[in-house]
Structure 1
Amino acid sequence: MAHISFHEAYMQVPVVTRTYATACLFTTLAVQLEVISPFQIYFNPELIFKEYQLWRLITNFLFFGKLEFNFFFNMLFLYRYCRMLEEGSFRGRTADFVFMFILGGTAMTLVAFFVNLVFLGQAFTIMLVYIWSRRNPYVRMSFFGVITFRAPYLPWVLIGFSIMLGNSIIVDAIGVACGHIYYFLEDAFPEQPAGFKILHTPRILKYLFDPPPDADEYATLPEAERPGGFAWGQADNGPPLEDGGDEHGGENQ
């Protein structure tokens, strides 16, 4: 296999995943190096609407805490599941993917007005995991090689893992709730007998983000590197399931 430089590998990551993951990494590093303070970027409605510090509406999604286990765990999940969504069900539909980001971020921001949350990046990551899991219902996964389950149970396994670590599940619950709202409006309701499509991506986003039909600017992950690949939460690409579902194929804080 030809050697691929870091820059080439980086540019092969689809644009939304690349941009968001990079922004999260640099924001966290800037805080760690004390270039900026967490107090300058956390979600604070009073400072946003009275002092017009509008950047807080975005920066609170970009910080995962100190460079510790929780940070790397969230970054891993963010990268893998954001990329798999962008390369999978949103492939060639970058505008729709950006619209999902906007809807999810808006929903979480509204929730943050009523609960005491100052950073929403972790909830956003769980939302991405939830949507991916619902769109890949026949994927079999394993967690730490101890339990096996299908992808739709992954968010609940992660919530259980958070409880084991003594973390609050409020953030995860918000991510699951916002993910379910999007999944219901975009995937479930339109398929009902009297259903219809509710979410429509604005034309301006399609103009800005959707490439020409024949454009293909990035490479997908090799099958062996898709879902899972970790001893503590990997997919099982075993024989077909009894109900004939397709399989491809792990996790959180």
Structure 2
Amino acid sequence: MNVGVEAWLTQVPPITRTWLALSVATSVAVQCQVVTPLQLYFSFKSAFTNTQPWRMVTTFFYFGPLSLDFIFHLFFFMRYSRMLEESSFANRRADYFWLLLLSSLMLLAFSPLFNLPFLSSSLAFVPIYIWSRRHPSTPISLFGIFTISAPYLPLALVGFSWVISGTWKAAAGDLIGCAVGHVGWFLRDVWAREMVGGYTPLSEAPEALKRLFGDV
């Protein structure tokens, strides 16, 4: 059984695999009371005034306690992050990391405006949104119940997240992730190619980062 899980993990692209592993490890650590959510959430006061910069990172890896909502977000982010990394960002790990890094910075800036201490689910919706916009004609079967076209997938998942969480705040965080994903999609697929005519620093990783990831 362990061999099967290990073989499956090796097939997952590296950035998605790392994100998945850190997210699971964080939730397990909270469940085992090694750390508490109060040590992981992000706020400007805690991160900067109280000099706790790790909160700018841990906020993206805690999906909440082990629950249906945890499984829901983890499954869909892993599925579509993997598909995006294997297709649009195949052999471009630095560019995918750059996309997630810029998206994370945007979410950190939005966090105090919407009172979002944890940004993991918001960031998870970024690759979901971008994948859906890059595959507009792909039909998606949701839970084998009904079929929608890919561009409607993020909104359908936001609605389902609202239902299983029972609070609009969880859906609000997912919607903000969709908004940030839209910005990322626009910068890469519209602005850079159609309006500028090529890649820009906002749509392509710096050369130093590409060398670090071995993409050059």
State the TM-score, normalized to the length of structure 2.
Answer: 0.90
Which residues of 2 match residues 167-182 of structure 1 at below 5 A?
167-168=167-168, 169-182=171-184
Letter in structure 2 aligned against 1:133: S
Shift of 1:192: 2.7
Match of 2:84 in 1: 85
Task: Determine the C-alpha separation between the residues in 2 that align with 1:93 and 1:81.
Answer: 16
Shift of 1:196: 4.5
Match of 1:249 in 2: none
Letter in structure 1 aligned against 2:98: F
Task: Determine the C-alpha separation between the residues in 2 that align with 1:45 and 1:206.
Answer: 30
Task: Determine the C-alpha separation between the residues in 1 that align with 2:130 and 2:196.
Answer: 23
Letter in structure 2 aligned against 1:167: T
Letter in structure 2 aligned against 1:125: A
| Cα distance change, pair 146–50 in 1 and its aligned pair in 2 (3 A) | same
Match of 1:19 in 2: 18
Letter in structure 2 aligned against 1:9: W
Task: Determine the C-alpha separation between the residues in 1 that align with 2:144 and 2:4.
Answer: 33
Match of 1:128 in 2: 127
| Cα distance change, pair 6–145 in 1 and its aligned pair in 2 (3 A) | closer
**Corresponding position: 1:149 with 2:153:** no
Asked if the contact 2:69/2:161 (under 8 Å) is kept, the reply is no
Letter in structure 2 aligned against 1:48: A
The answer to which structure has the higher helix fraction is 2
**Corresponding position: 1:202 with 2:206:** yes
Task: Determine the C-alpha separation between the residues in 1 that align with 2:36 and 2:145.
Answer: 40
Task: Determine the C-alpha separation between the residues in 2 that align with 1:8 and 1:162.
Answer: 30
Moved over 4 A (4+): 193-196
Shift of 1:45: 1.0
- The C-alpha deviation readout for 1:67-103, integer Å capped at 9, x for no partner, is 1101111111121111111111000000001101101
Shift of 1:211: 4.3
Task: Determine the C-alpha separation between the residues in 2 that align with 1:15 and 1:164.
Answer: 32
Match of 2:114 in 1: 115
Shift of 1:7: 2.7
- The C-alpha deviation readout for 1:173-197, integer Å capped at 9, x for no partner, is 1011000000001111234356553
| Cα distance change, pair 193–143 in 1 and its aligned pair in 2 (3 A) | same
Shift of 1:24: 0.3
Gaps in structure 2 of 5+ consecutive residues: none
Shift of 1:35: 0.3
| Cα distance change, pair 9–163 in 1 and its aligned pair in 2 (3 A) | closer
| Cα distance change, pair 96–31 in 1 and its aligned pair in 2 (3 A) | same
- The C-alpha deviation readout for 1:189-227, integer Å capped at 9, x for no partner, is 234356553323111110111346xxxxxxxxxxxxxxx
Asked if the contact 2:127/2:181 (under 8 Å) is kept, the reply is yes
Letter in structure 1 aligned against 2:94: A
Among all aligned residue pairs of Structure 1 and Structure 2, give the percentage whose two residues are the same amino acid.
39
Asked if the contact 2:43/2:111 (under 8 Å) is kept, the reply is no
Q: Could you say what the CA RMSD is over the residues aligned between the two structures, in angstroms? A: 1.7
Asked if the contact 1:189/1:197 (under 8 Å) is kept, the reply is no
Which structure's CA Rg is the greater one? 1
Task: Determine the C-alpha separation between the residues in 2 that align with 1:208 and 1:193.
Answer: 30
Task: Determine the C-alpha separation between the residues in 1 that align with 2:198 and 2:215.
Answer: 27
Total equivalences in the alignment? 209
Shift of 1:59: 0.1
Task: Determine the C-alpha separation between the residues in 1 that align with 2:162 and 2:4.
Answer: 40
Q: 1:53 aligns to what SS in structure 2?
A: coil
State the TM-score, normalized to the length of structure 1.
Answer: 0.78
Q: 1:192 aligns to what SS in structure 2?
A: helix
